[in-house]
Amino acid sequence: MEDDYQKLEAQIGYRFRNPELLKRALTHRSFAFEKSRRLCETGADLFKVHYERLEFLGDAVVDLVIGHLLMEAFPEALEGQLSKLRASLVNIKQLSRLSKNLGIGEWIRLGRGEDATGGRNKASILSDSYEAVCAAVYLDGGFESVFQMIKRHFQEIISGIDLGRMEEDHKTRLQELIQAENKRTPKYRMVAEFGPDHEKSFEVEVLINQMPVARGTGQSKKDAEQDAAKKALAILENEVNINHHG
């Protein structure tokens, strides 16, 4: 079986010293429990032969590597932006798509019932398997090995991120919400500036139908407008919820 993994190793970009780690990373609990009688006879603990413990570690490994890559790629991004970016990359949808593209699904060892009901294409299983494989690489070859592997997997995705567009999310959402109700476009008005020239902060007010709705602050006018739009959205969405439940 180990020799068969050469194709998968080529696809993920890592060659294992201990192929048993990869085998465990590809073993779903349904397979382990289906084989439980034989496994118990050999003295193996079930939790040591399926991927769930590896998935637990892999979740932390992927989070750390993606966080590092995003800080490198976007040196000017704020903590909130980086958190939002990481959440958009490290989730079931993104990881399952990546897992499928790498061909990991074809190698997962599933119980007959799980396999028959399409388990090989389930987003949760594909995503968990990817994280388990990352943990296996980390344990087999260390952090640098898994860092380089994940970097290759995500390179194209990260290079395609437009931080500028992401920054406009709150303003765009507010504008779409207001215009959907046949109201005018929100306007932003400077209220105050604070601090010395090299370390200024700005306060901006957002007006809807010429009525002030919220104020925001930031280290640039653009950031302050974003903050004001975010707060206005929260107020409007809260009003919608109150009216809906009232």
Is there a catalytic annotation at residue 52?
Answer: no
Of 59, 203, 205, 227, catalytic: 59
User: Is residue 58 a contact partner of residue 44, using CB atoms and an 8 Å limit?
Assistant: no
Is there a catalytic annotation at residue 131?
Answer: yes
Beta partners for residue 189, in sequence order = 205
- Tell me, what amino acid is at 190? M
Residue 64 CA from chain centroid, whole number: 11
Of 55, 114, 128, 131, catalytic: 131
| Secondary structure, 3-state, the chain | CHHHHHHHHHHHCCCCCCHHHHHHHCECHHHHHHCHHHHHHCCCCHHHCCCHHHHHHHHHHHHHHHHHHHHHHCCCCCHHHHHHHHHHHCCHHHHHHHHHHCCHHHHCECCHHHHHCCHHHCHHHHHHHHHHHHHHHHHHHCHHHHHHHHHHHHHHHHHCCCHHHHHCHHHHHHHHHHHHCCCCCCEEEEEEEECCHHHCEEEEEEEECCEEEEEEEECCHHHHHHHHHHHHHHHHHHHHHHHHHC
Catalytic annotation, residues: 59, 131
